[in-house]
Structure 1
Amino acid sequence: MPGFLLLVLAREDGDPAMRIGITVSKKVDVRAVVRNRMKRRFRELARAILPEHGIAGADHVLIGRASGIERDWAHLQADLVKALGRVAR
């Protein structure tokens, strides 16, 4: 199971900028340190993947899941590329 859920919404306002939103709830882990670490990883993941594979003019929201806490970086990257490919269809 991927470490996140991806939601993409086209803004249709004519602005080609891609925006990112990240959320990790207390259901994932009660400790703020763990949730903040996941958010930092997701921000870096978005910086690495969205310029190439993101959808222009859309809002991208990553919602953290418990399986993403210690998920390998390469798997997170592959999961995001795969999810963006599905959305682009």
Structure 2
Amino acid sequence: MPPEAHAHQDTVPGADTPPAVFVRLEVLSKRADFLRAARAKRSGQPGLLLQARDRGDDAPARVGFTCSKKIGNAVARNRAKRRLREAAGLELGPRAQPGWDYVLVGRPGETIAREFAQLRTDLARAIDKVHG
């Protein structure tokens, strides 16, 4: 958003609500961490699959993203991962519990085609199910 857009925020209806906060999470990079998360809790939703595991420490939460070739070519997989990253920053950031690893897995057709608000709702529901 351009800087001048923030200057006129008080004239916009509904501007009294705070903006969504994007939280940067530590990212999983080792295959072993992805495999451990795959053996732990799962929550399948229409737009994504969430795998989560409790590491048993108090370190910050970590998140990983994966999309198989079933999603499509490299362009489609990268688009799906970008959407998952954005949803995770908005939904997982405030809900993530310390000491947990989360892996978001894209679903063929759904992760890209689903409305972003519905994707965020799916992720919020999956997090609540895993921790509930």
* DSSP 3-state at the match of 1:69: helix
* Structure 2 residue aligned with 1:19: 62
User: Structure 2 regions of 5+ residues with no counterpart?
Assistant: 1-44
Flag as ranges the 4+ runs of structure 1 deviating above 3 A. Answer: none
Q: Secondary structure at the match of 2:113?
A: coil
The structure-2 alpha-carbon separation of the partners of 1:50 and 1:85, relative to structure 1 and needing over 3 Å to count, comes to: same
Q: Rg: which structure is higher?
A: 2
Residue from 94, 101, 104 that aligns with 1:52: 94
Task: Tell me the TM-score normalised to structure 2 length.
Answer: 0.62
Q: What's 1:76 paired with? A: 119
Mapped to 2, the partners of 1:70 and 1:46 lie a distance apart of: 17
Q: Percent identity?
A: 44
TM-score calculated relative to the size of structure 1:
0.90
- Other structure's SS at 1:79 match: helix
Structure 1 residue runs of 5 or longer lacking an equivalent are: none
Match for 1:40: what amino acid? R
Deviations 1:34-76 (A, max 9, x none): 1001111111111111122222210000011012121100000
Higher relative contact order (CA 8 A, sep 6+): 1
